[in-house]
Structure 1
Amino acid sequence: MSAAAVLGWLVLAALAPGAAHLRAGWRKTGLILLNCYAAGLLALLAVRLSTDNLLGDLTQDSWLTGITAGAVVLGVAWFALIVHSFIVLRPGSLPQAGQVLVGTFAGLLAVMVVLPFGMVTSYVWTSRNALNDIFVNEGTEDTPDPQAEQTTPRPEDPWAGRTRVNILLIGGDADDNRIGVRTDSMNVATVDVKTGNTVLVSLPRNLENVRFRPGTPMAQHFPNGFRLPPDPGGGRSDLLNSVWEYADAHPEIFGGKQHQGPKVLMDTIGYTLGLKVDWYALVNMWGFARLIDAIGGVTLTVEQDVVFGRYNEGLVKAGTRKLKGADAMWYARSRTFSDDFTRMRRQRCVIGALLDQADPATVLTRFNRIAGATKELIRTDIPRPMLKHLVPLALQVKNAKVTSIQFVPPLISTVSPDWAKIRSITEKAIRDSAGGRPTAATASPESTPKSTKSPKKPKESDPTKTLTEGCGSL
């Protein structure tokens, strides 16, 4: 057999185990290897066909552990296969130059067939660690909130009777030199569990006189709304973005319970919108910049120059281009020569661009960087077992109808908000997103004071927008 023939049979053996053994006369061994290979492929196909939610299953710890172990075993087996195939092809009968060539090639091929299994092991191990660090495992949650609706997922109904899932998405500015968490960006994503249609509801950070759900400790402490004396410098520490920080700093309001900020903010925003917020996800704003860098940047159209920095030394120039993480976050966060409401619109544009551009191919090729960045920037109370159902829902959202509402002036006043109007608009937007008739919404009398405004008020335009409406125009 020539050196070229040996090389060819080695390559074929890597693709179809047992081929080299059949060529070398090891008929029984070759047939066993080929049959095992075919059985393995059929088993993988059977698993795929019998699993309706493969991506969701792949978030489960048992699957990740099994895949890791399987990849290690198969990597070792394929390495041994190439080595043994090389031996049975009897390269010793070749001239010395041919032996050197074939031996070198066999060594490289043995290493090459191990690499994919090594990559799988690395990806899965990184995924497992990231998921364990970010999401709440069963039995580790805080004491359940007695005010919360108690529902139990079942195999036939993983959403436990929910028609929508409401997740509070928070952008926080926690830093090593700052005490507490200021929630400077607050959006509720309310998702239809059947269609994936989503409404993204944005609340301004400077919403005043925030009301708390009746009967809660915060409502008893602030019966007339969240109001504190002005700060020494004239600023205010009683805005919506201070609720989490204030609740964490005053455990005595909750009978000594620590770290009540997330629950209080979820319940407060849910009460404000007339929703039941299921979970929250807090993203450190500067960690978010690292995530943008991990996916290779994000393409945005900057409508006009955005100035930032303590001395206005920074500049994100107008134009359409791919921005690195720091520039994208300054575009989203800067209030210099601008205001909170313009900033909210820019934040919505960044979210929309990420939703469009974080495609599966990008995520796969940059997986380890993305997983590392995500582990550092997200804090959430989403239970780990719910990921099995949230992953396919998230994929639905990417291709579904996503609309948004921003409760900013002139739609509402941040100083004296019309709570009934906020709830009514939210209810209508959700109903329209689900395909219901766009009739006027009314707020619950138990939760909303009667409006004193004239019934002859002119009809307002619909404040609901697509997620990227107003983005991308110079």
Structure 2
Amino acid sequence: MARTSKRERTLRPSRSSGGAGYLFLAVFLLLLMAGIVALIWGPIRTAVTAASGIFRPPPATKTPAVPATPGPPPPTIAPLKRPLTILLIGIDRREEGGNTLNDVNIVVYVHPEGRFASMLSIPRDTAVEIPGFLTDKINAAYGLGEIYLADSGGGPALIRQTVERFLDLPIDYYALVDFQGFERLVDLVGGIIVDVPTPLEDNEYPSGTVGYTRIYIPAGLQLMDARTALQYVRSRHSDSDFGRNRRQQQVLLALRDRILQSGLLSDLGRLEPLLQELGKTVQTDLPLDTLLALARLAPDIPPERISSYTLDASNCLSEISGTTRLYPSLPCVRSIAQEMQQDPVMRKVREEAARVEVRNGTLTCNLCAARTRDYLLKRGFYVVDVLQDPQAGIYTRTLVLDGGDHPFTRQQLAELLHVQPDFVRRGPVDSPHADIVIILGDDYVPPQE
């Protein structure tokens, strides 16, 4: 039987109002989204109920009403400063015989100041060193922890230690959901819309406790109910575990879109049962103040700044004939773990490798060019030169001039230095060493560190 550690918080059914902002956590916590709101729901409910009577109408009486005792105020939300890593664990308690397996292992990295997030899926058959045990498939870690380490964190603690050692990346928190909870979530939102890239056919999909059944999901946009969605993320015989990992991330994003587009966030009648159901199957050790801070941060992270990574045979994993394990190249794995911590826009800037020259085009800010160089170097730009423009004093506007084709670099420079689009231009530059020339004009305000 699973036991909880001192740090672990099992989410309970609870209520509140104003959950739309909190549920936007789904932008990067995806499946966990509604379970997290269930945790936040309780502390806010008392105060909201006392103030507005949303959940319980006032008693019908002619005598003066006794003022309600004020509930506790909502928690203070301090903004997040440092990056966070969260391990999302999907367990299947319905595997035929044996231990409960952690078949879904996704590391979520959130960078609050950079306003970006990343996901990395680790296939369940990946061979890893499980601390205190022999090398085994990663999906054995949860069951081993529940059996042998129940008094010291159980399965979640052992998976966390395993993933930390595997990626050489500290894991701050975990969140766990079982597949039955996933099904309930999909049902409660009325199904999800998934764009299936190629037909999915599996003649050996497990059926109940014994036997197999055939499943077929055609290509194209599909409205999937809970049963079909679970089949889509669990099937592995049509395109291997690698395809399954990609489908898992695809379904999580589809679930996020469905929740945000369905009006569920503003419909308390539908929202309450969703939270109650998810509270039964989601557990996490994320502190309440961190959850609230993530909720406030989430709207500032657009979909294009959420990156997805999957370990597979095209990068870091090798399949060896006669085995069912996937053997990793640890340097490759850890390189991807490092890459997922990088701003996705700045990754593209580095790929463009544009050489940048900063010129002071003003007569009033002698140190502006040098300070701008230092500012850009800290952010990963390749600044090759700083100088005083020979025509300094004639520039009323700051210019970004691209002598080649470096769209990500010039766009990012314009955003960081607050250069208007009309003054970001492509064309020849009079510099033998630079691809992009920045000329600081009279309107230039040095960026704050």
Say whether the fold is shared (TM-score over 0.5): yes
Are residues 317 and 261 of structure 1, via their aligned partners in 2, closer, same or farther at CA, if it must alter by over 3 Å?
same
Percent identity, please: 25
Q: Would you say the 8 A contact 2:145–2:157 is kept in 1?
A: no
Alpha-carbon distance in 1 for matches of 2:238, 2:116: 35
Other-structure match for 2:260: 359
Q: What TM-score do you get using the length of structure 2 for normalisation?
A: 0.57
1:219-238 to 2 correspondence within 5 Å?
Answer: 221-222=132-133, 226-227=134-135, 238=136
Offset, 1:156: 9.0
Q: Residue by residue, what CA displacement relative to the aligned partner does 1:220-262 show, whole Å, maximum 9, x if unpaired?
A: x45xxx33xxxxxxxxxx20111121122223xxxx8354321
The alignment status of 1:305 with 2:200, answered yes or no, reads yes
For the Cα contact (< 8 Å) 2:95–2:101, is it kept in 1? no
- Which of 110, 117, 129 pairs up with 1:211? 129
- CA RMSD after TM alignment: 3.7
Q: Which has the higher helix share?
A: 1
Q: Equivalent residue for 2:340?
A: 429
The number of aligned residues is 294
Whichever residue aligns with residue 65 of structure 1, its letter is T
Does the 8 Å contact 2:78/2:293 carry over to 1? no
Task: Using the TM superposition, give the Cα deviation of residue 344 of structure 1 relative to its aligned residue in structure 2, in angstroms.
Answer: 0.9
State the Cα distance separating 1:61 from its structure 2 match: 4.4
Q: Which residue of structure 2 lines up, in the alignment, with residue 68 of structure 1? A: 49
Change over 3 Å in CA distance of 1:398–1:294 after alignment to 2:
farther
Structure 2: any 5+ residue segments left out of the alignment?
1-17, 26-36, 65-70, 319-325, 352-449
- Whether contact under 8 Å (1:286, 1:329) holds in the other structure is no
Q: Judging changes above 3 Å, is the alpha-carbon distance between structure 1 residues 53 and 391 closer, same or farther for their aligned structure 2 residues?
A: closer
Whole-Å Cα distance in 1 between the matches of residues 126 and 223 of structure 2? Answer: 33
Give runs of aligned pairs for residues 285-324 of structure 1, distance below 5 A. 285-302=179-196, 303-307=198-202, 308-309=205-206, 310-324=211-225
Which of the residues 296, 307, 316 maps onto 1:403?
307
Matched, 1:265 2:159: yes
Query: Which is greater in Rg?
Result: 1
Shift of 1:201: 0.6
**Equivalent residue in structure 2 for 1:381, among 285, 290, 293:** 285
Distance 1:399 1:195 in 2: 14
Contact 1:432 1:438 in 2 (8 A): no
| 2:196 paired with 1:196 | no
Paired letter, 1:241:
N
Letter in 2 for 1:311: Y
Give the structure-1-normalised TM-score.
0.54
Change (3 A) 1:315 1:402: same
The alignment partner of 1:337 has SS state of coil
Change (3 A) 1:332 1:176: closer
SS at match of 2:90: strand
Q: Deviations over 1:41-75 (max 9, x none)?
A: xxxxxxx9xxx999999936443211112233997
CA contact (8 A) 1:274 1:423 kept: yes
Structure with a larger share of its residues in strand: 2
What residue number does 1:281 align with? Answer: 175
Residue type matched to 1:334 in 2?
Answer: S
Q: CA deviation at 1:274?
A: 2.6
Query: Aligned partners of 1:362, 1:54: CA distance in 2, in Å?
Result: 10
Matched residue SS, 2:327: coil
State how far apart, in whole Å, the 2-side matches of 1:74 and 1:377 are: 24
Query: Structure 2: which amino acid aligns with 1:362?
Result: L
Matched, 1:246 2:150: no
Corresponding residue SS for 1:332: helix
Mapped partners of 1:320, 1:55: distance in 2: 24
> Which whole-Å CA distance do the structure 1 matches of 2:43 and 2:238 have between them?
52
Cα separation, partners in 2 of 1:350 and 1:249, compared to 1, 3 Å: same
Matched residues in 2 for 1:68 and 1:180: separation?
A: 43
